[in-house]
């Protein structure tokens, strides 16, 4: 992993986004495919305090957590939705519509995320 964020000025607030979540989401499917070197990412984030949040996908379920002292937002699925262990025996809910997330980083560096489902026309 790179030890610098290319082109990012030290005083420019930023979000970093990538595919695999760096933390457990408490389901065997996404947890088996977590980010392989979360400690390296944490070190990179500690070296770059201007990164205010981490955005990921991969899990097929919207989730919120923290990582390296920052908000971690996992986007919803654009295909099928993962059922969590307490939601029944079927691992996927293929009846749920695709989802998306809108992220707003305001002047106070507060991240607000709004979720929407995408319904067929």
pLDDT in tens, the chain (121 residues): 455 566 667 788 999 999 999 999 998 888 888 999 999 999 999 999 999 999 999 999 999 999 999 999 999 998 889 998 888 888 888 888 999 999 999 999 999 999 999 988 7
Write down the domain spans for the chain. Answer: 14-117
Burial of 69 (0-12, 13-18, 19+ CB in 10 A): exposed
Q: Provide φ and ψ at 44, rounded to 5°.
A: -60, -45
What is the value of pTM for the model shown?
0.88
Burial of 45 (0-12, 13-18, 19+ CB in 10 A): buried
Q: Which CATH superfamily is domain 14-117 in?
A: GpdQ, beta-strand dimerisation domain (3.30.750.180)
Give the separation between CA 77 and CA 94, rounded to whole angstroms: 10
């Amino acid at each position: 992993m790179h030890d610098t964020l290319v082109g990012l000025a030290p005083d420019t607030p930023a979000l970093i986004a990538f595919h695999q979540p760096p933390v457990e989401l408490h389901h065997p499917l996404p947890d088996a495919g977590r980010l392989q070197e979360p400690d390296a990412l944490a070190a990179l984030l500690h070296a770059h305090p201007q990164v205010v949040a981490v955005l990921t996908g991969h899990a097929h379920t919207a989730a919120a957590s923290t990582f390296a002292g920052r908000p971690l937002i996992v986007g919803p699925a654009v295909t099928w939705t993962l059922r969590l262990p307490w939601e029944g025996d079927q691992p996927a809910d293929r009846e749920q519509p695709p989802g998306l997330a809108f992220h707003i980083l305001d002047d106070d560096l507060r991240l607000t995320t709004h979720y929407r489902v995408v319904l067929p026309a």
